[in-house]
Amino acid sequence: MGEVVDGRRPRRLARLALLCALAAVAVIAFTGPHGLLVLLAQFVGLALMAAGAWWAITRRALLRIAGAALAVSAPVAVIVLAYAAEVLLFAAIGLALWLAGLACARAALRAARPPRPMPVREVPPPRRPVLIMNPSSGGGKVERFDLVRRAEDLGARVVLLDTSGRQDVAELARRAVTEGADLLGVAGGDGTQALVAAVAAEHDLPFLVVSAGTRNHFAMDLGLDRADPASCLDALRDGVELAVDLGRVGDRTFVNTVSFGAYAQIVQSPQYRDAKTATALDTLPDLLLGESGAKLTARADDHRIDAPQALLVSNNPYAAPDPVDLGRRPRLDGGVLGVLGIRVDGAAQAAELVLRGDRAAGLRLLSARRVTVEADVPEIPVAVDGEALTLPTPVICTLLHRALRVRVPRDRPGANPAQQAHAHRLDWRDVARLALGRTASSRTGGR
């Protein structure tokens, strides 16, 4: 299913992007020294905001309040300064032009290098599908979307989880296989998806994802509709198959992420479920300033990440940092883990992170086939697809390449290239090349 690419579209969009960017610069230049002063103040304001946020999360009592006050007042001060210097309107127009330029630049690169969709395979419909449904997921989406009746109408057998206790979901899935299931599916959160996906992969059975959880990150990156979980059931009658990777951490399977460090430690706390923000605010100062929590060292293939405060290992890398694609993976069949490590030691580094993004020294973005996490303690908290666990060190993460057959509906929003995440970082040199009618280079994000 090749898409016809109009060769002139990327060039037009790239020229429009450059025009918007130049117009933004011209508008600011037009305001003279006042405008330039406000522009400079914006960067200082951003740095102060980040420093204030750092103090707000790593200190307690008065220092915390002062930090929060700085984080809020810095951007307000920039707006007041722009107003006093009578350049507020021009600053707003300049910002709007700059954002429009960014949007056109991104669209130009996307048109020039459309994301390559994951290959699909034609398959006959299943005859004995079994779906495990969690009535508590997503605040009761199974009932709200009438998923049991709809699935049964399409010939599936539904196993409803009893959420009054903790059921062994993997065991339920294995029993369904013994009883002859030729497809396993889950309507529930990502943690439950991972448990059943492991059983499906073990038996080389197709797996069906119904986006009935709260976050549904796996469903999103498969291109499924998160707003309408019932649409995922279309895969039972008119489905196609994708072969995607499965992550392994120790002897467990994960579909999205494994998180180490501050986040994993916080979600372990018994108070976390009832009071998320209060627990995080209470624990973060000690965790981030190194007074509690294990000291981690990660090895991602040949790279070493020393003492990260937070480390995220993902089943395939996330898209290059971009406000539109943030939190999405362009593909799930690339055969590599994504690795993101953060180490921030003070307010100055927090400011650098905000101003320089993925170019900041405190942020490491890598891809690797194997990640080993060591610690100065025998066990560490690990969040696996959002589930809080404690694992013995060293913890090893690997990937099983294309180990899971996922049955998805033929028509799904994420199959549209315009909806797919982009793997490339926005580079204005590429946009300029496109505007001149040359092809953009094919660098990928990550370092």
Ligand X SMILES: Nc1ncnc2c1ncn2[C@@H]1O[C@H](COP(=O)(O)OP(=O)(O)OP(=O)(O)O)[C@@H](O)[C@H]1O
- Residues near ligand X, by CB under 6 A: 134, 136-138, 161, 163, 166-167, 169, 188-192, 213-215, 386
Q: How far is the CB of 310 from ligand X (least distance, A)?
A: 19
* Position of minimal CB gap to ligand X: 189
Q: How far is the CB of 196 from ligand X (least distance, A)?
A: 10
Q: How far is the CB of 169 from ligand X (least distance, A)?
A: 5
Token pair 């294990």: residue: 294
Question: Between residues 257 and 316, which has the closer beta carbon with respect to ligand X?
Answer: 257
3-state secondary structure the chain: CCCCCCCHHHHHHHHHHHHHHHHHHHHHHHCHHHHHHHHHHHHHHHHHHHHHHHHHHHCCHHHHHHHHHHHHHHHHHHHHHHHHCCCHHHHHHHHHHHHHHHHHHHHHHHHHCCCCCCCCEECCCCCCEEEEECCCHHHCHHHHCCHHHHHHHCCCEEEECCCCCCCCHHHHHHHHHHCCCCEEEEECCHHHHHHHHHHHHHCCCCEEEECCCCCCHHHHHCCCCCCCHHHHHHHHCCEEEEEEEEEEECCEEECCEEEEEHHHHHHHCCCCCCCHHHHHHHHHHHHHCCCCCCCEEEEECCEEEECCCEEEEEECCCCCCCCCCCCCCCCCCCCCEEEEEECCCCHHHHHHHHHHHHHCCCEEEEEECCEEEEECCCEEEEEECCEEEEEECCEEEEEEEEEEEEEEECCCHHHCHHHCCCCCCCCHHHHHHHHCCCCCCCCCCCC
Question: Between residues 137 and 315, which has the closer beta carbon with respect to ligand X?
Answer: 137
In contact, 219 and 394? CB cutoff 8 Å:
no
Q: If we measure between CA atoms, which residue out of 173, 131, 126 comes closest to residue 151?
A: 131
Token pair 């998180």: residue: 259
Question: Between residues 314 and 367, which has the closer beta carbon with respect to ligand X?
Answer: 314
Q: How far is the CB of 186 from ligand X (least distance, A)?
A: 8
Question: Between residues 101 and 191, which has the closer beta carbon with respect to ligand X?
Answer: 191
Q: How far is the CB of 34 from ligand X (least distance, A)?
A: 49
Question: Between residues 27 and 169, which has the closer beta carbon with respect to ligand X?
Answer: 169
Q: How far is the CB of 202 from ligand X (least distance, A)?
A: 18
Q: How far is the CB of 247 from ligand X (least distance, A)?
A: 16
Question: Between residues 161 and 375, which has the closer beta carbon with respect to ligand X?
Answer: 161
Question: Between residues 130 and 423, which has the closer beta carbon with respect to ligand X?
Answer: 130
Question: Between residues 134 and 309, which has the closer beta carbon with respect to ligand X?
Answer: 134
Question: Between residues 352 and 385, which has the closer beta carbon with respect to ligand X?
Answer: 385
Question: Between residues 185 and 191, which has the closer beta carbon with respect to ligand X?
Answer: 191
Q: How far is the CB of 392 from ligand X (least distance, A)?
A: 23
Q: If we measure between CA atoms, which residue out of 370, 369, 368, 349 comes closest to residue 359?
A: 349
**346 to 53, 55, 154: CA distances (angstroms):** 11, 8, 57
Q: How far is the CB of 165 from ligand X (least distance, A)?
A: 6
Q: How far is the CB of 367 from ligand X (least distance, A)?
A: 25
